[in-house]
């Protein structure tokens, strides 16, 4: 049985997500140490972006979200790779303003609605698109986009689901070389991925390179 959002909660969630994604790029970052957090956030901020996703793949994630929210109040901070209700609760308590998942977990989706937490489920099939839409979700993460066919896949499903007013954030296989191809599609609201702040750049503390890559990406889509 579906659990649709209330109209007011749905509008609030939609407004926040559209504000967070207005620059059309969502950098996803995985942190392994607290001392990486603020330099990376500062590098992304200096490059001109006002949004980032912190992946819940390590024990540092909740701390990282709290640190970024405290030091960069202008930054929209999302929690990514939320696979359980426990992780979602941790993300909300840490101050995450929205969340994402790589797949469609009905329990996690219902928990997000219960807490009026703006949430972006992951999908990769028409059935998952329809199920999430029935629950009231209008922005979906397409993952892994590249392996599913990328731009070709999104073009193929656009006409079938235009009536649902669904928009996608392709992630997985997205890079600086194809972001304009994705963003040219009417059913794509933003692109995401880890290519702006890779683990290698963070480990090497090449924060200036992260800033440079953010600037290049933003200039490309302008």
- Annotated catalytic residues are 53, 141
Q: Which of 125, 124, 69 lies closest to 92 in space, CA to CA? A: 69
45/51 Cα distance (integer angstroms): 8
Angle between helices 85-94 and 61-71 (to 10 degrees): 20
Cβ 4 vs Cβ 135: under 8 Å: yes
Q: H/E/C letters for each residue in 67-101? A: HHHHHCCCCEEEEECCCCHHHHHHHHHHCCCEEEC
């Amino acid at each position: 049985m579906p659990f649709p959002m209330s109209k007011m909660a749905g509008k609030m969630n939609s407004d926040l997500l559209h504000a967070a994604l207005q620059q059309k790029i969502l950098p996803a970052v995985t942190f392994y140490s607290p001392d990486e957090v603020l330099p990376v956030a500062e590098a992304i901020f200096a490059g001109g972006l006002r949004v980032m996703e912190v992946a819940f793949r390590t024990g540092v994630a909740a701390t990282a979200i709290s640190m970024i929210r405290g030091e960069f109040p202008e930054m929209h901070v999302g929690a990514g790779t939320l696979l359980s209700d426990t992780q979602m609760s941790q993300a909300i308590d840490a101050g995450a303003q929205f969340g994402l998942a790589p797949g469609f977990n009905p329990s996690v989706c219902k928990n997000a609605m219960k807490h009026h937490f703006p949430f972006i489920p992951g999908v990769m099939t028409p059935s998952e698109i329809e199920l999430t839409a029935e629950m009231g979700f209008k922005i979906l993460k397409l993952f892994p986009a590249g392996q599913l066919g990328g731009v070709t896949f999104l073009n193929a499903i656009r006409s079938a689901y235009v009536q649902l007013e669904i928009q996608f954030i392709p992630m997985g296989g997205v890079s600086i070389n194809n972001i304009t191809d994705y963003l040219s599609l009417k059913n794509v609201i933003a692109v995401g991925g880890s290519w702006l702040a890779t683990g290698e750049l963070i480990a090497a503390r090449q924060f200036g390179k992260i800033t440079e890559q953010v600037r290049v990406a933003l200039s490309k889509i302008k």
